[in-house]
């Protein structure tokens, strides 16, 4: 007997779906173009890129009842746009023109986008388990983005070794590979740091057009939290008083037996 997946893909505006299809079609056309021009690597890169443009759909279908199904589709839209830029535009400019610094923009944007996503993702992970400190969410955002930047360098190193590419511009008699890797990491971390500060300030009402509304909302949340704490402390105080009274009653009930034994 087959088990059917109860999950379905959530709401997705028609305009967003069309934009996704256009970007995926562009990636596929770019990959096929690479095959006809002797670059199997570009085709494989396009295939992997198309797979990553379906992450949100995978979350929706196979995420079960976990927090992963609550990821907003806007993050997939940002990821798709970045993948299209980095793969189709960036790789084409780097490989087929004399301009070789498009990857600098890609690394900076990668750090910024992943940090932007990770800040809200931290609150999704926390869910209703309790309030999450904005500072902790910021640290998670920065750490998550740095991990992605490092993973990107792993990918470039692997592709260079397997297919003889020069993504890291490594040369036996030069430190150009080391310089390229370090510049990529520095740009990625810089993008992550700027994005983390921006999203944390925006979400906490420091900047942005909604800062007054956010401040009022947080004030109400703090008041509610303070009221809950007051009620809890009052309950503990009354419980302690009741326990003390019960212990005194037991003492007077048990004392005649103690006197009898003397």
User: Tens digits of per-residue pLDDT, 179-205?
Assistant: 888 999 999 999 999 999 999 999 888
Does residue 145 share a domain with residue 173? yes
For 246, what's the count of Cα atoms within 13 Å in the CB-facing half-sphere?
A: 6
**What pTM was estimated for this model as a whole?**
0.77
Do 118 and 88 lie in a common domain?
no
Predicted confidence band of residue 145 (pLDDT cuts 50, 70, 90): very high
Q: Is position 2 within any domain?
A: no
Looking at the structure, tell me whether residues 191 and 152 fall in a common domain.
Answer: yes
Whether residue 172 lies inside any domain: the answer is: yes
* Structure letter (DSSP) for residue 70: G
Does 1 fall in a domain? no
Task: Round to whole Å and give the CA distance between 134 and 205.
Answer: 12
Q: Is 104 exposed, middle or buried (0-12, 13-18, 19+ CB in 10 A)?
A: middle
- Out of 2-11, 31-40, 51-60, 145-154, pick the least confident: 2-11
Q: Say how many domains are in the chain.
A: 3
| pLDDT value for 250 | 55
Confidence of residue 103 (pLDDT cuts 50, 70, 90): confident
- In sign, the C-alpha dihedral spanning 52, 114, 22, 40 is negative
Query: Do 254 and 231 sit in the same domain of this protein?
Result: yes
Give the integer Cα–Cα distance in Å for 175 and 180. Answer: 9
Let me know if residue 223 belongs to a domain. yes
129 — phi, psi (to 5°)?
A: -75, -10
Residue 164, domain member (yes or no): yes
**Do both 237 and 157 map to the same domain?**
no
pLDDT in tens, 217-227: 878 878 888 88
Kindly state whether residues 113 and 182 are assigned to the same domain.
yes
Q: Which of 84, 100, 116 is at the close of a domain?
A: 100
DSSP 72-129: -HHHHHHHHHHHHIIIIIIHHHHHHSS---HHHHHHHHHHHHHHHHHHHHHHHHHTTS
In a domain, 15, yes or no: yes
Task: Give the C-alpha separation, 93 to 187, whole Å.
Answer: 19
146 with 216, same domain? Answer: no
Summarize the confidence of residues 147-175 as an average pLDDT.
82
pLDDT at 102: 85
Do residues 185 and 201 share a domain? yes
In a domain, 81, yes or no: yes
Which residue segment(s) compose the domain that 253 sits in? 210-262
Q: Distance between CA 180 and CA 158 in Å, rounded? A: 15
Regarding whether 164 and 79 lie in a shared domain, the answer is: no
Q: Are 87 and 24 in contact (CB under 8 A)?
A: no
| pLDDT tens string 162-173 | 877 777 777 777
Calculate mean pLDDT across residues 135-151. 95
């Amino acid at each position: 007997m087959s088990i059917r997946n109860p999950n379905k893909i959530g709401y997705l505006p028609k305009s967003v779906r069309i934009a996704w299809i256009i970007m995926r079609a562009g990636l596929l056309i770019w990959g096929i173009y690479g095959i006809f021009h002797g670059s199997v690597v570009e085709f494989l890169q396009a295939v992997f890129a198309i797979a990553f443009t379906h992450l949100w759909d995978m979350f929706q279908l196979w995420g079960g009842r976990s927090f992963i199904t609550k990821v907003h589709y806007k993050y997939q839209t940002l990821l798709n746009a970045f993948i299209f830029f980095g793969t189709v535009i960036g790789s084409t400019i780097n490989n087929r023109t004399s301009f070789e610094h498009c990857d600098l923009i890609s690394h900076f944007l990668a750090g910024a986008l992943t940090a932007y996503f990770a800040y809200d993702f931290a609150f999704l992970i926390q869910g209703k388990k309790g309030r999450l400190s904005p500072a902790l969410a910021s640290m998670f955002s920065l750490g998550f983005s740095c991990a992605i930047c490092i993973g990107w360098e792993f990918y470039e190193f692997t592709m260079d070794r397997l297919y003889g590419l020069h993504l890291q511009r490594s040369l036996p008699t030069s430190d150009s590979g080391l310089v390229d890797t370090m510049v990529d990491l520095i740009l990625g971390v810089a993008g992550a740091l700027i994005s983390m500060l921006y999203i944390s300030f925006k979400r906490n009402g420091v900047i942005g057009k909604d800062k007054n509304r956010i401040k009022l909302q947080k004030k109400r949340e703090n008041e509610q939290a303070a009221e809950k704490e007051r009620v809890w402390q009052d309950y503990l105080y009354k419980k302690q008083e009741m326990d003390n009274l019960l212990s005194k009653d037991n003492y007077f009930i048990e004392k005649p037996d103690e006197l009898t034994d003397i």
